[in-house]
Each structure stands twice: as C-alpha cells, then as structure tokens.
Amino acid sequence: MKLRSFAMLLLLGGLAACGTAPTTIDEPFPTTSSAPMATTQPTVDSMMQPTEPMSMTDDMMQPTEPMSMTDESMTDDMMQPSDPMPMTDDMIEPTMMPTAESRVEPSAVPAEPVMLSSGAFRGIDHESRGMAKLYKQPDGSIILRLNDFYVEPGPDMYIFVAKAADIHQPSDLQAGYLELSKLKGSEGNQNYNLPNDFDPALYNNVVIWCEKYQVLMAVAPIQ
C-alpha cells in the first residue's frame, strides 16, 4: 500500500513539473540605423533664381559729361575703322542650358520594415494565443516577432521554424526545421533574428517545442 502511494506521488510530481511559472517579456520592435540619411542637393530651379537687384546710389545716378570730340582731338588712327574680329567655331557654339532631366534630386529615404507573412498561434494540447510575424528590415535582415504571445508555461522550451505544411505531432518535424533559440518568455512581445541565408519560402510554421518532454506546445503558420 505504501509503495503504491509513493508511485502515485512520483507520477503527480512529474505531471506538475511540465508546468512552470509564467515568464513575461516585452521587447520593442527592432529598428536598423545603418541606412544613410538623405541629403538635399541643389536643383536647377534654385540655381536659376534671379539675384537681388543692386541698389543705385546718388553718385551712380549723376550724368557723366560727354567727351567733346573736336577736330584737333580726333586723330587719323581714331577715325580709321577697326578690323573686324574673326569669328571662330568656339565663339558661335550655342551654350547648353540644363534641362529637367539633368536635375539632381535628393537621395531616397530609407524604406520601412515590410511584413512578409503572419499567422495566429494555436495550442497543441496546451493553451496558446498571439501572432507570429516575419519582417524584412531596410538593411535586408529578417526577424520573427511574436505579438501579444502566450503559451502555457513549461520547462526547457524552444522556438523553431518548420518546413512541413501542417504540424500536428512531433513526427511532422522530420520534414525539416531550424532551431532559433530557447524561448525568451512564455508571454509577451519577443523578437528573434533569422540567419542571413534564411529563405522564407522554405518554412511554413513557427513551432514552440518542449525539449524536456519532447512535445509540441504551439504552432503558428507563416505562409
């Protein structure tokens, strides 16, 4: 009788160990600051603006005395017509004015993060809720963000991205999966970086996995 009671206590203790105290985390959405700032370049319109007129003073407004031209002051050299200056090809070449196509525009403003896909979590024999979202950052990196996430607390939990179209049991992971890290918390907003060579087209689900008991906790589609 005592042995049976002891075995029951061990069984109940093992079942209780699957549940642990919830851990809450609230990470802000990550932003990248490596994008260059836009710089404003001068445009043709600003270069063609008229300059302020020069103010006229009283001295400048006084008429000048005309030079008297007398026969004595006029010499033969001054009366002779000057030779015309020869015109060269460079002098008759038309001046090229800038066109609208040559206008220099400011450099482009960096793009905002783009959401590639998202899906709602569903629990597998455990309670779960919230959203899994894939984002592509302006620098080209991809992150997985869990929004308003909750999963029933458990020990030794990990987060995967899996290739199988549907995940219902552990054997479905045999189609291939990528382990991201240990789960940061059982609830709250969380961010996970994806590898540089990550291909979103190859992975269909986000998986919460309990390593200690080898069970699925929750799944969210990301296709």
- 0.85 cut: is pTM over it? no
In terms of C-beta density within 10 A (0-12 exposed, 13-18 middle, 19 or more buried), how is residue 20 classed?
A: middle
pLDDT at 102 over 50: no
User: Which amino acid, one-letter code, is at 102?
Assistant: S
Long-range contacts of residues 51-54, Cβ cutoff 8 Å, at least 24 apart: none
Neighbouring CB atoms inside 10 A of 135's CB total: 20
Give which of 50, 101, 172, 96 is closest to 207, Cα–Cα. 172
φ/ψ of 67, rounded to 5, equals: -75, 125
Res. 34: pLDDT tops 70: no
The string of DSSP letters for 13-63 reads HHHHHT-----B--PPPP----SPPP-PPP-HHHHTSPPPPPPPPHHHHSP
Give per-residue pLDDT as tens, 53-86. 555 555 555 555 555 554 454 555 555 555 656 6
Over the stretch 114-134, which tens digit does the pLDDT of each residue have?
999 999 999 999 999 999 999
Q: If you average pLDDT over residues 156-181, what whole number do you get?
A: 97
Q: Are 218 and 208 in contact (CB under 8 A)?
A: yes
- Give yes or no for residue 143 having a pLDDT over 60: yes
Q: How far apart are CA 183 and CA 186, in angstroms?
A: 7
Please spell the DSSP secondary structure of the chain, one letter per residue: -HHHHHHHHHHHHHHHHT-----B--PPPP----SPPP-PPP-HHHHTSPPPPPPPPHHHHSPPPPPP--TTT--HHHHSPPPPPPPPHHHHSPPPPP-GGGPPPPPPPPPPPEEEEEEE-EESSS-EEEEEEEEE-TTS-EEEEEEEEEE---SSEEEEEE-SS--SSGGGGGG-EEEEEE-S-SEEEEEEEPPTT--GGG--EEEEEETTTTEEEEEEE--
pLDDT at 22: 85
